[in-house]
């Protein structure tokens, strides 16, 4: 019996998915042996707040969400600076650089790595990616004056703002026709673009960077339209799942992530995967999507950890919830955008002075919200998206931008007891 | 581990006296400021559903953090600043970790999280560390703080009394 309890759990990856899984296991099984293998030398940090560290708003210590003593306290063994090289499924062990680690249950949470575009001169000094703490440290140490950011996703925009605060002159170059192309439609994206321009960032869309100039250090960037003199280049062209460990062993999906079911199982017995490296089903239409977002990784980690201990838990699906603050303009996008799904879409726009909201409905079901400077009630829209209920009945209320309190009462996530009390008393 | 308690609100008892709001903001901010209260009273007029008697057409609702089971404020926080206190079950904001991105406000479906512009801090009900002052000062007993396993009792009580009333009314109308 004691042997049964003292199961060996091994987690590859010390990101948010990895530690969420570790803490989920620890909560359910106090005696289990939990090992986390991490390539990086640090305890877990939040990559979402790295732009704030880069801009100097917060100190380096505040990037970390766990310290080394925290792991000890919860009896979680953290093996840092060690890369897991391959996986032996038959013998149930992980082969890393230094040792062979046997497991009873394995959770793969290797996360994502930046995609490196095929641009001439990419190996020069002064070209950075932005994903890990080391990247942020490198950029902090680098003394540059002018930066070109290739790609205008969330990372591109946030790094651009952070570098602007550090005193750089910033150029943001996007290949597509709008900035933040994955999370905003044209009009809201243009509002954000205007705000960035007001903040002194040079934003260009429909421009392709063809070459990075200079001898061994970056001296400039050549695009299909112009030449920009600069000393720093940031590649923010997207992320892709890191799957070096599992190549050839796991089934990979079409999008390049590890295929998982709604229990975060990989199809191989006793092996689970979670975080940025998996493609889980979308909450909106159930199709597999890559969702490289913090809260999804966190939920997936909890589900994977719980299922690994034998307590069944189902993942509801990945949902995009992103927010970006551009010099006083707060832009939030929840769910799908109008250009990502193509069937029976209906778009409701509410424009008021200084604020904007766009609702995307598919077959009368709310699937997405984008809002600029209009924070209130957003949570109700989130609830409506999660509930997948037809909005026909309270369309007027929703289109006015103020959903009713009635929709709140049917909210599925609340602490059931209090809510059911509230409901039946009414 | 202390038994987890939940905050229960019964709109039928609430008189809208705002004692809870005053107590909350005074206890948590040191001064009374309605905008900095973590609990809010909403006034509804002409609500027919809760009518006990015919002249009863004004009810009050309390909006505060529900300490959700699936808290989106906790999921969305990029700095792990929102944490669940295992003793009280409350979702607590760790202001040392908070980076001020306000994603928790975006995720909250109840609008229960607000932002203090002076202190540059998130304001959220934290159940006053296990002794909610709003319940302590509630004059009418509309707010109660009960262990989870007893939380259904006021509801049962209310339903029973409603049944008695309805039965009395029915027997008056249709004497057997």
Residue B7 shares a structural domain with residue B57: yes
What is the structure's pLDDT at A4? 59
| Last residue within a domain, chosen from B124, B139, B157 | B124
CB A293 within 8 A of CB A320: yes
User: SS3 for B59?
Assistant: strand
Residue B56 shares a structural domain with residue B82: no
Stretches where chain A sits below pLDDT 70 are 1-5, 340-343, 391-426
- Chain A residue closest in CA terms to B47: A426
From CA A193, how far away is CA A161, in angstroms rounded?
Answer: 12
What is the structure's pLDDT at A410? 43
Residue B119 shares a structural domain with residue B72: yes
B108: chain A residues, CB-CB within 8 Å: 379
CB A292 within 8 A of CB A112: yes
CB A197 within 8 A of CB A160: no
From CA B21, how far away is CA B32, in angstroms rounded?
Answer: 9
CATH of the domain at B137: 3.30.70.20
Instruction: Sort A4 into a burial class: Cβ within 10 Å, 0-12 / 13-18 / 19+.
Output: exposed
CA angle, residues A308, A311, A316, in degrees to nearest 5: 85
From CA A101, how far away is CA B113, in angstroms rounded?
Answer: 45
CA diameter of chain A? 74
Are A48 and B155 in contact (CB < 8 Å)?
no
Residue B166 shares a structural domain with residue B114: no
- Residue B96 belongs to what domain range? 68-124
What is the structure's pLDDT at B50? 52
Residue B60 shares a structural domain with residue B84: no
Are B9 and A49 in contact (CB < 8 Å)?
no
DSSP type of residue B4: P
Residue B46 shares a structural domain with residue B73: no
Residue B109 shares a structural domain with residue B143: no
- Between chain A and chain B, the number of residue pairs with CB atoms below 8 A apart is 119
What is the structure's pLDDT at B55? 57
From CA A151, how far away is CA A205, in angstroms rounded?
Answer: 9
Residue B75 shares a structural domain with residue B119: yes
Residue B47 shares a structural domain with residue B84: no
What is the structure's pLDDT at A355? 85
Residue B169 shares a structural domain with residue B136: yes
Give the residue-averaged pLDDT of B11-36: 88
User: Which of A51, A333, A379, A404 is most worth mutating to test chain B (most B CB atoms within 10 A of its CB)?
Assistant: A379
Phi and psi at A246, nearest 5°, equal: -110, 5
For chain A, count helices (H), then strands (E).
12, 26
CA–CA min distance A104, chain B (Å):
28
Give the pLDDT band of residue B62 (cuts 50, 70, 90): confident
Which residues, other chains included, contact A7 with Cβ-Cβ below 8 Å and sequence gap of 6+?
A: A29, A32, A33, A104, A105, A309
Give the residue from A404, A119, A107 showing the smallest Cα distance to A234: A119
Domains recognised in chain A with CATH numbers: 2-113+240-308 (3.50.50.60), 127-237 (3.50.50.60), 336-425 (no CATH)
Residue B81 shares a structural domain with residue B112: yes
Q: Is the pLDDT of residue B169 over 70?
A: yes
| Last residue within a domain, chosen from B109, B124, B139 | B124
pTM, to two decimals: 0.86
A59 alpha carbon, distance to own chain's centre: 22
From CA A358, how far away is CA A347, in angstroms rounded?
Answer: 7
The two structure tokens encoding residue A425:
């008393």
From CA A147, how far away is CA A218, in angstroms rounded?
Answer: 10
From CA A107, how far away is CA A14, in angstroms rounded?
Answer: 11
Give the residue-averaged pLDDT of B88-115: 89
B102: chain A residues, CB-CB within 8 Å: 323, 325, 330, 375
What is the structure's pLDDT at A393? 54
- Chain A residue closest in CA terms to B96: A62
From CA A280, how far away is CA A318, in angstroms rounded?
Answer: 7
Scanning A99-249, the segments in alpha helix (DSSP H) are 133-141, 154-165, 186-198
A299: chain B residues, CB-CB within 8 Å: 75
**A30 touching chain B per CB within 8 A:** no
Region of poorest pLDDT, from A192-196, A218-222, B111-115, B122-126:
B111-115
Residue B133 shares a structural domain with residue B111: no
- Chain B residue closest in CA terms to A296: B75
Number of folded domains in chain B?
2
Minimum-distance CB partner of A52 among B70, B96, B99: B99
The two structure tokens encoding residue A198:
């007001």
Q: What radius of gyration do chain B's Cα atoms show?
A: 19
| Residue B27 neighbours by CB distance under 10 Å | 17
């Amino acid at each position: 019996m004691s042997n049964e309890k003292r199961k060996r759990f091994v987690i590859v990856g010390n990101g948010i998915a990895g530690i969420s899984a570790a803490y989920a296991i620890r909560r359910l099984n106090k005696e289990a042996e939990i090992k986390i293998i991490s390539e990086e030398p640090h305890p877990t940090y939040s990559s979402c707040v790295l732009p704030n560290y880069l801009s100097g708003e917060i100190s380096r210590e505040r990037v970390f969400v766990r310290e080394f003593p925290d792991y000890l306290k919860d009896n979680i063994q953290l093996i840092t600076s060690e890369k897991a090289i391959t996986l032996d499924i038959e013998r149930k062990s992980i082969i890393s650089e230094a040792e062979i680690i046997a497991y009873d249950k394995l959770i793969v949470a290797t996360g994502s790595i930046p995609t490196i575009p095929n641009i001439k001169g990419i190996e020069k000094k002064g070209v950075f990616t932005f994903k890990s703490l080391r990247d942020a440290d490198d950029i902090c140490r680098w003394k540059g004056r002018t930066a070109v950011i290739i790609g205008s996703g969330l990372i591109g925009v946030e790094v651009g703002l952070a570098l602007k605060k550090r005193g750089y002159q910033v150029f943001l170059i996007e290949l597509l026709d709008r900035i933040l192309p994955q999370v905003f439609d044209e009009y809201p994206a243009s509002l954000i673009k205007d705000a960035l321009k007001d903040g002194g960032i040079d934003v260009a869309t429909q421009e392709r960077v063809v070459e990075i100039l200079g001898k061994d250090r970056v001296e400039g960037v050549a695009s299909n339209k112009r030449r920009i003199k600069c000393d720093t280049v940031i590649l923010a062209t997207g992320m892709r799942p890191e799957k070096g460990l599992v190549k050839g062993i796991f089934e990979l999906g079409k999008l390049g992530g590890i295929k998982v079911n709604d229990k975060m199982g990989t199809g191989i017995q006793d092996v689970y995967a979670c975080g940025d490296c998996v493609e889980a089903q979308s909450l909106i239409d159930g199709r597999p999507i890559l969702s490289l977002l913090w809260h999804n990784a966190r939920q997936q980690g909890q589900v994977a950890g719980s299922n690994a201990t034998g307590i069944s838990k189902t993942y509801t699906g990945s949902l995009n919830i992103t927010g970006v603050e551009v010099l006083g303009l707060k832009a939030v996008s929840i769910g799908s955008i109008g250009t990502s799904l193509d069937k029976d879409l209906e778009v409701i726009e509410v424009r008021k002075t200084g604020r904007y909201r766009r609702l995307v409905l598919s077959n009368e079901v709310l699937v997405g919200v984008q809002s600029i400077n209009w924070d209130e009630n957003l949570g109700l829209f989130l609830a409506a998206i999660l509930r997948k209920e037809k909005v026909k009945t309270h369309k007027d209320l929703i289109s006015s931008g103020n959903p009713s309190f009635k929709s709140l009462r049917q909210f599925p996530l609340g602490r059931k007891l209090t809510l059911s009390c509230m409901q039946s008393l009414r | 581990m202390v038994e987890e308690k939940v905050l229960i609100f019964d709109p039928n008892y609430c008189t809208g006296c705002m004692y809870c709001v005053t107590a909350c903001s005074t206890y948590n901010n040191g001064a009374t400021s309605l905008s900095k209260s973590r609990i809010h009273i909403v006034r509804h007029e002409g609500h027919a559903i809760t009518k006990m008697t015919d002249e009863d057409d004004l009810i009050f609702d309390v909006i505060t953090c529900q300490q959700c089971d699936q808290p989106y404020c906790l999921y969305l926080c990029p700095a792990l600043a929102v944490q669940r206190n295992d003793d009280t079950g409350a979702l607590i904001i760790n202001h040392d970790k908070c980076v001020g991105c306000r994603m928790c406000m975006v995720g909250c479906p109840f609008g229960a999280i607000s932002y203090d512009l002076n202190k540059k801090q998130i304001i959220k009900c934290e159940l006053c560390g296990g002794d909610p002052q709003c319940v302590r000062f509630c004059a009418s007993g509309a707010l109660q703080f009960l262990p989870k396993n007893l939380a259904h009792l006021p509801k049962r009580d209310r339903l029973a009394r409603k049944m008695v009333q309805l039965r009395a009314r029915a027997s008056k109308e249709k004497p057997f």
